[in-house]
Amino acid sequence: MHIVRHLRGWIGAMCIAGSGSVMAAPALTPPDPGIDALMQRYDGQVPGAAVLVLHDGKPVFRRGYGLAVLEDRTAVTAQTNFRLASVSKQFTAAAILLLAEDGALTLDDPLKRWLPSLPAAADAITLRQLLSHTSGLLDYEDLMAADATAQVHDQDVLHLLEAQDRTYFTPGTAYRYSNSGYALLALVVGKASGSDFATFLRQRIFLPLGMRDSVAHQDGVDGIARRAYGYSEVDGRWQRTDQSVTSAVLGDGGIYSSVDDLARWDAALYDQRLLKATSLTQMFSPATPTAERDVPFYSFGWRLNGGAHWHSGESIGFRNVILRYPAQRLTVIVLSNRNAPEPYPLALQIARRWLDTLQ
């Protein structure tokens, strides 16, 4: 009964919001008052967070905490757009799967079919290995000059790797999480589609799903509606730390989105409105074992832990997580615009409040 009651409250609040007035996201009474206690550090005049819990495709908890912009005290709402950081990788993987469905590429294509300027060390690397972090590509952040100040882009990642005729291990023989691999996948999307990565995502994923404010952000090219800026706590004070030299790389972490838009993404993962059943199976099938905590297997843009599918995202000034339990049709999303803490433990605690009654 509590789920129905809170859903009615959300619908009523949305009807009021749609009457022409501007208001913050409704603060629903959680099914357990402990949720607000868990999020207490995000509340008030501090960098905040947006929290969404979906059950059976319906929002059963939806609330913004704290501020999206400290300087003008803009509150976080369910429509606030955060930099997703590595939560972006699932969209990059989906773009590759869509192109495979189109027949524009195959997952076992050699990477150098699309990016032939890479050195001989990349000869054996396939797109599948990039998706599953088994390519052995060097970490581009380790190849950048220590005093670099100009932002790098996906194309710059390619140029850095062109000068490195080596890999960490023989491609396909081990797992190592690779931001480099997903930056190159964004370039492959552009090559195979005849478009560019940001445009492909908008035309083939965001707009078809109604994610109208989501964007692979390019400074000077697009705008970000209701943007959250990132902050870090330094000597007890919050300082804006919204961008770093790697923040313009799109394929590994450059997407901005809101919990409301991510609800539309979550819904598309339960049916074939975007990806075919075979592609969804590939996206969520164990591709490679890992030694990472809570990650027995990595798939394509997702971490797998038993019945949970999840991914976190960490970038300067942002910490995010999406946690899904498909068998229970339960999803918890936490997006925050601060450098700490990592919200995955929070999402687990929030999820348990529903899992205890659903299992």
Distance, first Cα to last Cα, the chain: 16
> Would residue 86 show up in a list of annotated catalytic residues for this protein?
yes
CB burial string 11-27: b at 16+ within 10 A, e below: eebeeebeeeeeebbbe
Angle at 331 between CA 20 and CA 32, to 5 degrees: 80
User: CA nearest 318: which of 343, 351, 345, 292?
Assistant: 343
Q: Which two tokens stand for residue 179?
A: 């931001």
User: CA nearest 90: which of 202, 203, 253?
Assistant: 253
Contact 214, 256 (CB under 8 A): yes
Residue 61's alpha-carbon distances to 88, 140, 314, in angstroms, are 23, 39, 24
Q: DSSP labels for 309-341?
A: EEEEEEETTEEEEEEEEGGGTEEEEEEESBS--
222/201 Cα distance (integer angstroms): 13
Catalytic position from the list 19, 21, 86, 315: 86
**Catalytic amino acids?**
86
